[in-house]
Structure 1
């Protein structure tokens, strides 16, 4: 068995020497770095099982170092230590995926115990055969894994497609981590999350005085990503005006900050993602055809859960172990009935919905096996049959049209959510655990609109489970 390999980062020479000495005495292979930049360079050269880093470092702090090393290889365990721990740092560190926090000064035996736990978790995680931080052994996922290193070799524009919650940002991170730009920033921007009036400034930056309230120069995401990768998520939500400016960025490799008459050169690779069908948006006049062809040089598709049912149980077990660690719970596994429910559910929210479900169970149930009764009603079978979708049996003669059956189920589910929310799209999207923009696109594609009197379903609609509830 290979000896565990640990990277220690501390700008205080005595502290760094002490940590190296203590950890080496336990039989672990230890390397040290005295700055964030040195840590990233050291990390790039070898595979480490654990990174132990101070928060306060010259230049890039410990969380920024975490971002850089996770862009190179996402699976590493991280322990962050600091003499200045507070609730804000605790929340931000856990949000960014820090596995453990250690308050200085700390006792030697506390340090050793924490490192042993982190290395044990790393060994358990290794059995999952993570592919660029992703879990899945289906044929469609392996096809995606095989494409990522080849795509990463060039600077060609990439368009990642897939439904909401499938993990498109993980694919973007994998492309960046495998590319020659991996030592530079990966900067992400969700085009659907920022108001249109602020989007140009957020993307290209602005000069002081460019508009009311612009009291300082502001570096946009393009400048922040200089030398690295700019990931534009939900690119289909961009206005036509900004689409023109993105097209110029791609064609000319230059842009204008808001308020500037002087163009600036851009040295970034553009990776985009969308859960929309851009070809349909082009046909509807809502997306520029020339920009679509510029973006769609290399298309990558991330399959929805319904396209890879063989991965559902694997993902469920992976999230169970991951979220047990995060929430200090002791869930042991799934009953056969619960597994059957997970396997039979269509997962409209995809991997994100499954992870959220396991997180809820880790918090509320806490220990033991997950049984059918622990699952939300919508997963428990009868709710599906009440919708009129008989998933368990095929007709005696002939076959069903799978796509038509899935489309019918989705159509009925959308109507059910709209009726239950009195046709309030925000509430309906919350019930379905999808983005409002995704709901709106589905309604347009299926030509569902509110009639004078709300339609009556041909079956008694069961109550959908509100994701914000504890049921």
Structure 2
């Protein structure tokens, strides 16, 4: 089901706000309203709409002042200005400053529809298939990563997803599948670190009846079950050497032979993989095949930790609460501002997965409609007991440091290596160890005018 476009409507005329809101809802949009620029900015701190439609003349903060704040804090969000005091001067001023469109009251229905559709075509280029609807973000880092994923999705190549545990690698893999030509076929997930070697081999490649003790019927395995679609191999770094060899053979020959079978079967599946293990170090130590690594890691998408996308924390917490409200009966309606501030300030070593768990605990324990900071304090104190090991802490520091120097040098590896006090060869090894591509930072530079 396709998501409705969300419009934030801002006007200090409450009656017109209600009337125009009803008109937009009848057109099929989700509409949020704010009676002032300050109220609109407060709402934007928690959510990101697809378009802002604002009055020009308002008490306190006018439409252009609101646009200026939005342009600085929410890059790329289109704003359309309305006014009953329309003039050539107003229109030129608004459009030169970067406002997407300018409408004069009384609002013409066709002009309104045309302007909104044109603005949404800019802000929602992928809305037609809604491939990324499960990934809630307004983080520039995540938006850039999603754009990279959108470009990779139609290409039938292997993608490796790296990043800390709980950062959302499975969701990104599903988004890649949804944006690909394979979206009408199965998307299957197999955790390579959650079972014995024999059972994992059976789950991967299948078996025939009697292939081993307990095999009482044929089993196709995920390579054949996902035919035409996508297969995500989670924790691929946990594969044993023998299964690494067998997986490499299956990928190279595009066929598998189930355990106990006499003939092989052709496969047709796009393989995605994920890991939070340092596979470059594993290769150097002879624990992971280099040829398999490069076959799986044709493209690497490295997901940030939740701290690196801290602006998403209130958004994710509120979305998690809404999801819980649809699945279970609860009196909880929201978070207090202090509670949201506490969530935003937390460290989140377990990343998005940990945040979702904390919200679920808070909803289960809440005795009032609004979640208070005192409740979260106890839950977060318990979460802090899960202290990272020295190696985990060092790896996280290295990863954050590398991202920082690449941002500072806009992806220039020579300059970044100089800042880090390393030669280029060592610096490239560090990037490979953490699955980081310097080129993604070069793409973020604004084009010259």
* TM-score (normalizing by structure 2): 0.55
Q: How has the CA–CA distance of structure 1 residues 291 and 3 changed in structure 2, closer, same or farther, with 3 Å as cutoff?
A: closer
CA distance in 2, matches of 1:207, 1:301: 38
Question: What is the aligned partner in structure 2 of residue 256 from structure 1?
Answer: 257
Question: When the two structures are aligned, how many residues end up with a matched partner?
Answer: 271
What SS is found at the alignment partner of 1:330? coil
Does residue 269 of structure 2 align to residue 275 of structure 1? no
Partner residue, 1:340: 341
Partners of 1:310 and 1:222 in 2: how far apart?
38
Aligned residue in 2 for 1:178: 179
Partner of 2:189: 188
Alignment match, 1:205: 206
Q: Deviations over 1:129-174 (max 9, x none)?
A: 9933111111111012112221111110010112111111111111
Describe the superposition over 1:193-212 as per-residue Cα deviations: whole angstroms up to 9, x where unpaired: 12212111111111122122
Shift in CA distance, 205/131, structure 1 to aligned 2, threshold 3 Å: closer
**Which residue of structure 2 lines up, in the alignment, with residue 312 of structure 1?**
313
Mapped pair 1:364 → 2:381: no
Q: Residues 83-125 of structure 1, C-alpha deviation per residue, up to 9 Å, x if partnerless?
A: xxxxxxxxxxxxxxxxxxxxxxxxxxxxxxxxxxxxxxxxxxx
**Cα contact 2:3–2:133 (8 A) shared by 1:** no
Instruction: Give 1:292's aligned residue.
Output: 293
- Alignment partners' CA distance in 2, 1:226 and 1:169: 19
Superposition deviation, residue 340 in structure 1: 2.8
Q: Aligned runs of 1:133-144 on 2, under 5 Å?
A: 133-144=134-145
Shift of 1:371: 1.5
Equivalents in 2 of 1:363, 1:251: separation in Å? 49
SS at match of 2:301: strand
Q: Which residue of the partner structure matches residue 350 of structure 2?
A: 349
Which residue is 1:61 aligned to? none
Distance 1:282 1:405 in 2: 17
Residue 363 (structure 1) shift: 1.8
User: CA 1:155–1:298 in 2, change beyond 3 Å: closer, same or farther?
Assistant: same
- Cα deviation code 1:26-81 (max 9, x no counterpart): x999xxxxxxxxxxxxxxxxxxxxxxxxxxxxxxxxxxxxxxxxxxxxxxxxxxxx
Output aligned runs, 1:34-433, within 5 Å.
Answer: 131-365=132-366, 367-377=368-378, 379=380, 407=397
Q: 2: distance between equivalents of 1:3 and 1:250?
A: 36
Secondary structure, counterpart of 2:369 in structure 1: strand
Name the CA shift for 1:196/1:279 in 2 (closer, same or farther; >3 Å): same
Q: Which residue of 2 aligns with 1:62?
A: none
Q: Deviations over 1:311-350 (max 9, x none)?
A: 1111112112222222222323333432232122111111
**How many Å apart are 1:3 and its aligned residue?**
13
Task: Check the 8 A contact 2:358/2:380 in 1, yes or no.
Answer: no
Question: Offset of 1:405 from its aligned partner?
Answer: 12
Give the superposition deviation at 1:221: 0.8
Q: Is the 8 A contact 1:372 1:380 kept in 2?
A: no
Q: In structure 1, what is the Cα distance between the partners aligned to 2:178 and 2:396?
A: 36
Any stretches of 5+ residues in structure 2 without a counterpart?
Answer: 5-25, 29-126, 388-392, 399-432, 434-449
- C-alpha deviation, 1:377, in angstroms: 3.3
- Quote the Cα distance in structure 1 between the aligned partners of 2:378 and 2:182: 46
Distance 2:261 2:338 in 1: 63
Cα gap change, 1:346 to 1:287, in 2 (>3 Å):
same
Q: Return closer, same or farther for 1:133/1:378 CA change in 2, 3 Å cut-off.
A: closer
Following superposition, the deviation at residue 283 of structure 1 comes to: 1.7
- 1:261 shift after superposition: 3.3
Cα pair distance change 1:157/1:130, threshold 3 Å? closer
CA distance in 2, matches of 1:318, 1:132: 12
Going from structure 1 to structure 2, the CA distance change for 1:209 and 1:321 (only over 3 Å counts) comes to closer
- Change in 2 beyond 3 A, CA 1:130/1:252: closer
TM-aligned CA deviation for residue 380 of structure 1: 5.9
Contact 1:319–1:355 at 8 Å: present in 2 too? yes
Residue ranges of structure 1 left out of the alignment (5+ in a row): 5-26, 30-125, 388-402, 409-444, 446-471
Match of 2:411 in 1: none
Distance 1:193 1:273 in 2: 14
For 2:324 and 2:271, the matched residues in 1 are separated by 33
**Conservation of the 8 A alpha-carbon contact between 1:324 and 1:362:** no
Q: CA–CA distance in 1 between the matches of 2:395 and 2:297?
A: 30
Is the CA contact (8 Å cut-off) linking 2:162 and 2:302 kept in structure 1?
Answer: yes
Q: CA deviation at 1:366?
A: 5.2
Q: CA RMSD in A?
A: 3.2
